[in-house]
C-alpha cells in the first residue's frame, strides 16, 4: 500500500515543501498541545504549513458505526477542505484518521466528481512520523528526553495504514530515551472509536489489560501516535488512580522535546537504510 508513495517521496528529500495541516477533531476539541508540537516540528524541518479552516473530521465516528449514507457529506466536506489549499502534502498526527482519508478513494470510487479528488488526497496524505521518516528522510529529530517510556502501537496505524516502524525508528533516535518493550503490544487498547462508549463493558476489560501491561513496564511515559488511544489508556489508568508516576505523551510532543537542531540527522542512502513500513512481523 505504501510502496508507491515511498518511492516517490525519496526524490523529494531536503526540498522545500508546503504542508497542509490535518489537525483531526480530537486535537481541535481536546488536545491542542499535540497539534502545536506537530506544527513546530514541521516548521523546524523547513516546511511551510497551511491550515484549511473548513476541515472537521475524517468521518470515522459515524462511518464505523454503520451510518454510511450519513457520513458521505462528512467525507466530502473533509476532502474539499483539505484540498482547498494547494499543498504538496497533507499531514496529520494520527494514523487512524489518515488511514480513513486513504479509504475515501474506495468509498467514492463511483462518484464522478469526487473519485479523482479522493485519489489526490490518498497520494498526498501521511501520518506525521511516516512523513518525517519516509518523506523528509529524517532519522533523528534532534529531540532529547531523559526518561523511561513505553510505546503503544495503535491498530489502525499498524494494520490499516500499514505503518509499524516509522515511529519506532524516530523514537530510537531520541537522546536519553529508554524504551521499555510493552507486553502484547499487538493487542487493541479497547478504544475502537464509538466502541468505547457503546460497549463500555468490553472496552473496560480490554483497556484494563492494556493498562496492566503499561503499568508493568514501570515506565514514566506512555507514548503513542494516536491521541485517542492515549486518552483511553491514560483515562483508565487515571480512573484506577494508579498513574501518579505516568505521563502521557503523543509522539509529536516527544520528537519536539528539548530539541538541539544541530543533532538533526537525515537518512543517508534511503534505498538501503529505510526500514520497511510493514516491518518483519507476520501478526
Q: How far is the CB of 68 from another protein (least distance, A)?
A: 5
According to CB under 8 A, which one of 8, 14, 18, 198 is a site residue for another protein?
198
Candidate list 11, 15, 184, 262; residue touching another protein; CB under 8 A: 184
- What gap in Å lies between CA 39 and CA 22, rounded to an integer? 10
Q: Least distance (Å) from another protein to the CB of residue 220?
A: 10
Interaction of residue 66 with another protein, rule CB under 8 A: yes
| Between 76 and 102, CB nearer to another protein | 76
Three-state secondary-structure class, residue 89: strand
Give the Cα separation of 91 and 9 in Å (integer): 14
Report the alpha-carbon distance of residue 100 to residue 248 in Å, rounded.
Answer: 25
| Other CB atoms within 10 Å distance of the CB of residue 53 | 8
The helix (H) or strand (E) run that includes residue 140 is strand 138-140
Nearest-approach distance from CB 79 to another protein, in angstroms: 11
Residue 239-278 contact track with another protein, rule CB under 8 A, x = bound: x-x-xx-xxxx-----------------------------
Q: In the bound complex, what is the minimum distance in angstroms from residue 32's beta carbon to another protein?
A: 4
Residues 31-60 that bind another protein (CB under 8 A): 31-33, 35-36, 39, 43, 49, 51, 53-54, 56-57, 59
CB of 146 to another protein, least distance (A): 16
Residues numbered 136 to 165 that lie near another protein (CB under 8 A) are 155-156, 159-160
Residue 91 C-beta: closest distance to another protein, Å: 13
Site residues for another protein, 215-234, by CB under 8 A, read 230-232, 234
Closest approach of another protein to the CB of residue 81, in Å: 8
- Quote the CA–CA distance of 210 and 242 in Å, as a whole number: 13
Is the Cβ of residue 35 or residue 167 nearer to another protein in the bound state?
Answer: 35
28 touches another protein (CB under 8 A): yes
Which grid coordinates are listed for 170? 524516530
Question: Is the distance from CB of 120 to CB of 101 less than 8 angstroms?
Answer: no
| Three-state SS letters, 137-182 | CEEECCCEEEEEEEEECCHHHHHHCCCCCHHHHHHHCCEEEEECCC
Alpha helices in 125-177 (DSSP H): 128-130, 155, 166-172
Continuous segment of H or E residues that includes residue 163 = none
Is the Cβ of residue 135 or residue 207 nearer to another protein in the bound state? 207
Which residue of 10, 238, 275, 279 would you call a contact of another protein, by CB under 8 A?
Answer: 238
DSSP letter at 274 equals P
CB contact set of 62 (below 8 Å; sequence gap of 6+): 70, 71, 74
- Best CA proximity match to 83, nearest among 29, 36, 39, 122: 122
Number of residues that bind another protein (CB under 8 A): 83
Query: Which of 57, 136 has the CB closer to another protein?
Result: 57
Amino acid at each position: 500500500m505504501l510502496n508507491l508513495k515511498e518511492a516517490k517521496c525519496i526524490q523529494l528529500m531536503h526540498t522545500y515543501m508546503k504542508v497542509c495541516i490535518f489537525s483531526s477533531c480530537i486535537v481541535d476539541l481536546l488536545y491542542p498541545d499535540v497539534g502545536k508540537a506537530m506544527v513546530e516540528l514541521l516548521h523546524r524541518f523547513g516546511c511551510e504549513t497551511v491550515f484549511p479552516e473548513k476541515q472537521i473530521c475524517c468521518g470515522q465516528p459515524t462511518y464505523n458505526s454503520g451510518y454510511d449514507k450519513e457520513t458521505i457529506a462528512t467525507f466530502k466536506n473533509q476532502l474539499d477542505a483539505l484540498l482547498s489549499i494547494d499543498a504538496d502534502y497533507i499531514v496529520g498526527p494520527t494514523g487512524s484518521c489518515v488511514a480513513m482519508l486513504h479509504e475515501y478513494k474506495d468509498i467514492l470510487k463511483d462518484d464522478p466528481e469526487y473519485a479523482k479528488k479522493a485519489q489526490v488526497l490518498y497520494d498526498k496524505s501521511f501520518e506525521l512520523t511516516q512523513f518525517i521518516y519516509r518523506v523528509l528522510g529524517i532519522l533523528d529529530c534532534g529531540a532529547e528526553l531523559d526518561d523511561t517510556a513505553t510505546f503503544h502501537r495503535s491498530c489502525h496505524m499498524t494494520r490499516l495504514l500499514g505503518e509499524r516502524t516509522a515511529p519506532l525508528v524516530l523514537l530510537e533516535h531520541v537522546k536519553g530515551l529508554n524504551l521499555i518493550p510493552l507486553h502484547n503490544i499487538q493487542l487493541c487498547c479497547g478504544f475502537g472509536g464509538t466502541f468505547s462508549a457503546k460497549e463500555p463493558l468490553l472496552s473496560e476489560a480490554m483497556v484494563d489489560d492494556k493498562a496492566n501491561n503499561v503499568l508493568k513496564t514501570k515506565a514514566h511515559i506512555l507514548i503513542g501516535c494516536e491521541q485517542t488511544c492515549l486518552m483511553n489508556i491514560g483515562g483508565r489508568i487515571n480512573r484506577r488512580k494508579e498513574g501518579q508516576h505516568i505521563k502521557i505523551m503523543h509522539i509529536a510532543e516527544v520528537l519536539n522535546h528539548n530539541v538541539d537542531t544541530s543533532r538533526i540527522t537525515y537518512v543517508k542512502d534511503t534505498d538501503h537504510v529505510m526500514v520497511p513500513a510493514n516491518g518483519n512481523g507476520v501478526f
